Structure 1
């Protein structure tokens, strides 16, 4: 599913990140926050079939909005989706458009608390919101916590480098479970994250379609 361009025998990964690479990785989430909002496509694995979310996330408002489509049995959950760090709401649709309408329907939404431990979709939405931060990460700590350069690659014509993320604070040894595709300025183009209980990862792709603004959270 993922193909890496050859980086040359003298620089084949994985290897420890350089100081420059650590700086790029450290600023990546902050760059999303500075952009404020980005168009995203998210593939969510599941035993009943894959879910695909097409929409946008606002990293300053910590909110997202999009169209959710499923394969197989998961198609029963097709519709519009909006979420924050604490709540998720679905508006079922019999015919799902390719992109969400600029003005969401006022009625017909079903909501519940967002719980990252409840399932793959909630976990994916929490991961997506976590890809923005109002300040850079500490570049000096990233190499110590397991961040590595993996390979050179391209995403939609953009030259990028692939990095494994550092260990999360609550999951030591988890560095290899998250990969970031970043350009030379630390702009994020793809993220792949393993989640508990699923064979396939969550895959987040940025700037894949025309941007639709995220409505204000209610």
Structure 2
């Protein structure tokens, strides 16, 4: 993942402090919880100097793919439409009047595929981060505090009482604990992730369970973008 930076905001009283054993265990299993769920409904808010982009999507954490709608705020509609992505590619279906939610079955035509950019695109970095928030095994709970993970405070997201913890990036690189904020429920369920991407002044927010999850169907017949 490219350009992870520490993000502020959202701390409750008393933080930061070292994680308790229970908190370390919750942080260690949070990405595994997404994998166990198979997929989650997400809303990704991507900042930008030309206006924000919002991706309302479903992410399949076993199939490693996401599908949804991307819409701009405070900008033109040139980026609006349906979007499907994997760890290596992004397929877009431009629409001047994009729906609030993607149809369960993707259109069969007018898709354009390009490589997912590792650097230089806040949108692509955000898509990669969202896809990386699932893992087929828990992280090592003992290593998280040693690498700087910490409790930051308490909050409420979508009616759920949560603890805010800083922890490692979804890319699982060494030395990245503290770079990402996780809003976690008592059982380790992930309800929000906040991370800065590249040089953008505002962080990316990824909120979970904002709408109904729809299984991700593969896009067929996408032409490569020129």
Would the TM-score normalized by the shorter structure come out above 0.5?
A: yes
| Counterpart for residue 164 of structure 1 | 166
Distance across 2 between alignment mates of 1:194 and 1:3: 14
In the superposition, the TM-score normalised over structure 1's length comes to 0.92
Q: Which residue of 1 aligns with 2:183?
A: 181
Determine the C-alpha separation between the residues in 1 that align with 2:172 and 2:99.
39
TM-score, normalization: structure 2?
A: 0.88
Give the whole-Å Cα distance in 1 for the aligned partners of 2:52 and 2:174: 26
Q: Which residue is 2:16 aligned to?
A: 14
Deviation at 1:72, TM superposition (A): 3.2
Alignment map for 1:1-218 (pairs within 5 Å): 3-6=10-13, 12-73=14-75, 75-166=77-168, 170=173, 172=175, 174-216=176-218
Task: Check whether the contact 1:165–1:178 (CA below 8 A) recurs between aligned residues.
Answer: yes
Alpha carbons 1:143, 1:166 under 8 Å: kept: no
Q: Is the contact between residue 144 and residue 177 of structure 2 (CA under 8 Å) also seen in structure 1?
A: no
Q: Which digits, 9 at most, give the CA deviation of each residue in 1:54-78, with x for residues without a partner?
A: 0100000000000000123353110
Do 1:4 and 1:152's aligned partners in 2 also have CA atoms closer than 8 Å? Answer: yes
Higher helix share: 1
Cα distance, 1:177 vs. partner?
Answer: 2.7
Q: What's the CA shift for 1:210?
A: 1.8
Tell me if structure 1 keeps the 8 A contact 2:66–2:85. Answer: yes
Paired position in structure 2 for 1:9: none
Flag the 1:83–1:17 CA change in 2: closer, same or farther, 3 A.
Answer: same
In the superposition, relative to structure 1, how do residues 171 and 50 fare at CA in structure 2: closer, same or farther (>3 Å)?
farther
The answer to whether the Cα contact below 8 Å between 1:163 and 1:180 also exists between their aligned partners in 2 is yes
* 5+ long unaligned stretches in structure 2: 1-7, 221-226
How far apart in 2 are the matches of 1:96 and 1:25?
36
Q: Is the 8 A contact 1:48 1:72 kept in 2?
A: yes
Deviation at 1:171, TM superposition (A): 6.6
